[in-house]
Chains A and B, each alone.
Chain A
Amino acid sequence: MPNEAALLDKNASGASGVTTAPKPTGAPAAKEDVLFRMRTELARALKKNPRERRWVMVIDQRRCIGCHACTVACMAENKLPPGVVYRPVVIKEVGMYPKVTMTFLPRPCMQCENPPCTEVCPVHATYTNKEGIVVMDYDQCIGCRACIAACPYGARTFDYGHAHTDNTPEVGGMILGRNTADNYERDANVEYGKKRERKGHSSPVGNVRKCHFCLHRLMAGILPACTTTCIGRATYFGDAADPDSLVSELINHPNIVRLKEELGTAPRVYYIA
């Protein structure tokens, strides 16, 4: 089994240009886990030309237990500040008392094939990259928020520069308080393979942010953080252009739906309802 921590470290210390897929060598027990299959398929996909693969995510709503682990994993992976959310889980109550149940809808960016968000960007700061993923160029974004208004899925949020440790009191001479507590918040994340410390008003503060299918992990041969963290194994990820992949199998079932399909956005996120 590949050592994810080691791969992440490698990624963090020199993220850009990491393209080598790990060679999965799982133990027999791990082979039974669907993650193992997806990881093998990911390695296979990374050997292809980027334009020949089609990344998709499939979310099985029947298996989601609404634990929000994916939301938290995403926050940790991308060091998201308060107010910036890439993958909330929308909870809906269904039925009437006493026959009440709940449905859970994890909502990453749909990575639309016809994304309305990119069309409205006045400076080409958000676009579909060669992997087919809708990405942000933080250094180009002027922060007009037109893309937030255009997204039909509410998948974009603005980074207003808040910190989880805002208003934490300081105690003089002690290892307490904001200046120490927020070190981890200032540390760089590696979104898009580039280290960015949160300093003052520099990007991504003042920019719109969104889910990118953990592109930096993918390029290192690691599945998105939400996928590996999902304890219900309700999130699947892979290359739909590979007919033997798990996601290919899943999206060909008749009970597959995509959100707001009538808008013609052609999401790359599918739901099994």
Chain B
Amino acid sequence: MNKKSAYIVGIITLLIGLWGFYDRFAYGHDHAAYGSVVVWGLWVALYFLFGGLAVGCFLWASLDLLFEIPACKGTGVKALWAALITLTAALIAIAFDLGHMERFWKVLLQPNLHAGVAEDAWGYTIFGGLTAIALFRAVNQKGKDGVLKVIMVLGLVVSLYVAGAPGKLMGVNAARSFWHAGMLPVQFLFFALATGAALLMVILTFADKKEKLESSLSILHPAAIILLGINLYFTWSYFSQGIAGGMPGIMLPAQEIVSGQYSGLFWGVQIMLGGIVPIVVLALNGKNNNIPLSGLMGLCILLGNGVSRYLILVAGQKVEMLPGMSQAVHGPGLTLTYSPSTSEWAVASGLVGLVILGLLIGADLLLPMFTKSRQEA
């Protein structure tokens, strides 16, 4: 796919999204399919995905801008820009999900800092600020920049924290045993790193000839293989333990994913397309850095990881808090079933469009600046 087609895809998905944005503003949550049982749906899954992507991109940027690994030279600015764009998409997704998005400021100014949502909000705000400063300095960098290094160190620490924060947000809910696992935040960190690498693989596909930076792929590919392997291991331990344990609160959602309603998504998209296929293809590709293929594998990894967040999030809520509850209450939003509504999909499409266009426009505007400043240095 060339850059022009990517622009077209970005514009079409954003146009679809505009209808979704209008629907959300005009009708609130009227047309959303989540409710009072499955309270967090597609938009929260996208918040996790885009938030993880932002953190992952920042961590990859640190290889260039902090650790100065020669093979990664030149990827830092692209990665930081991608971090800002995906963070914006994450924040829009979560703002749309709130019942009163106009009160979002309260989370920052009147927070309960013990609460995961407030921790996330503050964490991402600090992270966004550090990323923006780092990007500004990196773009205008002339020679060694000590301040940039300090910002990158701070950003690294904050990134490690916010990478696991969504896992904590779910994990603190002792009532939901499927989520209440100590390793959930750690899983989110590895998911973030894998998706960050994947997005960079996609971005490099669209870089100009002289900016192809093929050397960085020699780091990204093996790293992606290892991270996907770790993710598959986490997935295996999480689900096999949950099912073998036999406790209904864990076993039932795990079974729903592995062998129930979501088995197609789980095996087909999360495990095969987003895990095994990229591992095999990238491994077979070896040192022959086939850039379009690399970009395609990056897309597969993003899709697989997006599905994995969605499944963990949604299946963990499809549990009756008291046996028989779902039969006792009837009405909108009081059901254990959930599949995203058209309006939720439209907003998702818009967010994807925003990210695509943001990345393309940013790269087209930033790269020349970036190249110029590096040449002057």
Contacts and interface: CB of A to CB of B under 8 A. Distances in A.
Given A90-B324, A141-B99, A143-B99, A160 B30 contact: yes
A107 B322 CA distance: 9
A142 B117 CA distance: 11
Contact of A154 (B104, B172, B325, B331): B325
B174 A124 contact: no
A116 B334 CA distance: 21
Contacts of A89: 328
A140 B32 CA distance: 23
B173 A156 contact: no
Contact of A122 (B111, B329, B332, B333): B111
A267 to B, nearest CB: 12
A141 B115 CA distance: 14
Interface in B133-173: 169-170, 172-173
Interface residues of A, number: 48
Interface stretch (B34-42, B85-93, B287-295, B356-364): B34-42
Given A123-B118, A145-B99, A154-B322, A85 B112 contact: no
A48 interface: no
Shortest Cβ-Cβ A-B pairs, 3 listed: A143-B99, A206-B99, A154-B321
Interface size class of B (residues with CB under 8 A): 35 or more
B114 interface: yes
B183 interface: no
Contacts of A159: 99
A92 B39 contact: no
Interface centre among A124, A144, A162 (most CB of B within 10 A): A144
Interface string B249-276: 0000000000000000000000000000
A121 B35 contact: no
Interface string B89-116: 0000000011111011011001110111
B250 to A, nearest CB: 15
Contacts of B176: 149
A90 B100 contact: no
Nearest to B334: A83
B171 to A, nearest CB: 11
Interface in B6-52: 28-30, 32, 35-37, 39-40
28 contacts: A84-B36, A85-B329, A85-B331, A88-B329, A91-B324, A107-B322, A119-B115, A120-B116, A122-B117, A140-B103, A141-B99, A142-B99, A143-B103, A144-B98, A146-B116, A150-B172, A151-B175, A152-B174, A152-B321, A154-B37, A154-B320, A157-B333, A158-B35, A159-B99, A160-B333, A161-B28, A162-B332, A207-B99
Contacts of B39: 145, 148-149, 158
A142 B175 contact: no
Contacts of B112: 121-124
B224 interface: no
A263 B333 CA distance: 26
B323 interface: yes
A67 to B, nearest CB: 13
Interface of A: 82-85, 88-92, 105, 107, 116, 119-124, 140-146, 148-154, 156-162, 201, 203, 205-208, 259-260, 263
A209 to B, nearest CB: 9
Nearest to B324: A90
Nearest to B32: A160
A150 B329 contact: no
B334 A263 contact: no
Nearest to A152: B175
Contacts of B333: 83, 157-158, 160
Nearest to B113: A122
A152 B322 CA distance: 8
A157 B107 contact: no
Nearest to B118: A122
B99 A105 contact: no
A100 to B, nearest CB: 15
A142 B331 contact: no
Contacts of B323: 90, 92
Contact of B324 (A92, A124, A148, A150): A92
B375 interface: no
B110 A142 contact: no
A260 B30 CA distance: 34
Contacts of A143: 98-100, 103
Contacts of B116: 120, 122, 146
